[in-house]
Amino acid sequence: MRHVGTQELETKRLLLRRLLPEDAGQMYQNWASDPEVTRWLRWEPHKNELETVGLLAAWATLYPNPDYYQWAIVEKSSGQVFGSISIFNTLLGDPAQKALWPQLDCADGVWEAGYCLGRAWWNKGFATEALRAVADYWFTQTDAPFLTCCHAKANPASGWVMEKAGFVYDHDSVDHKFDGTPVECKSYLLTRAHYQRKDLF
SS (H, E, C) 92-134: HCCHHHHHHCCCCCCCCCCEEEEEEECHHHCCCCHHHHHHHHH
Model pTM?
0.94
User: What is the CATH classification number for the domain harbouring 28?
Assistant: 3.40.630.30
Q: What is the DSSP letter of 192?
A: H
Instruction: Tell me if 3 is assigned to some domain.
Output: no
The pLDDT assigned to 83 comes to 98
**Is residue 55 one of the residues assigned to a domain?**
yes
Which among 169, 154, 151 is positioned nearest to 42, based on CA atoms? 151
> Taking a C-beta distance cutoff of 8 angstroms, is the pair 147, 115 a contact?
no
d(CA 50, CA 44): 15
Count up the domains in the chain and report the number: 1
- The string of pLDDT tens digits covering residues 70-85 is 999 999 999 999 999 9
Q: Is the residue at 124 inside a domain?
A: yes
Q: Note whether residue 189 is domain-resident.
A: yes
**4 assigned to some structural domain:** no
Confidence of residue 41 (pLDDT cuts 50, 70, 90): confident
Domain membership of residue 25 (yes or no) is yes
All residues at 6 or more sequence positions from 73 whose CB lies less than 8 Å from its CB, including other chains: 14, 16, 81, 82, 83, 84, 85, 115, 117, 126, 130
Distances (CA, A) of 94 to 1, 18, 150, 174: 20, 26, 14, 11
Flag whether 173 is in a domain.
yes
Task: Give the confidence band of 126 by pLDDT, cuts at 50, 70, 90.
Answer: very high
Q: Domain range for residue 34?
A: 9-200
How many CB atoms sit inside 10 A of residue 105's CB? 8
Position 46, amino acid: H
The predicted structure's pLDDT at residue 180: 83
Average model confidence (pLDDT) across the chain? 94
79-94 average pLDDT score: 94
Q: Is the pLDDT of residue 200 over 60?
A: no
Structural domain includes residue 182:
yes
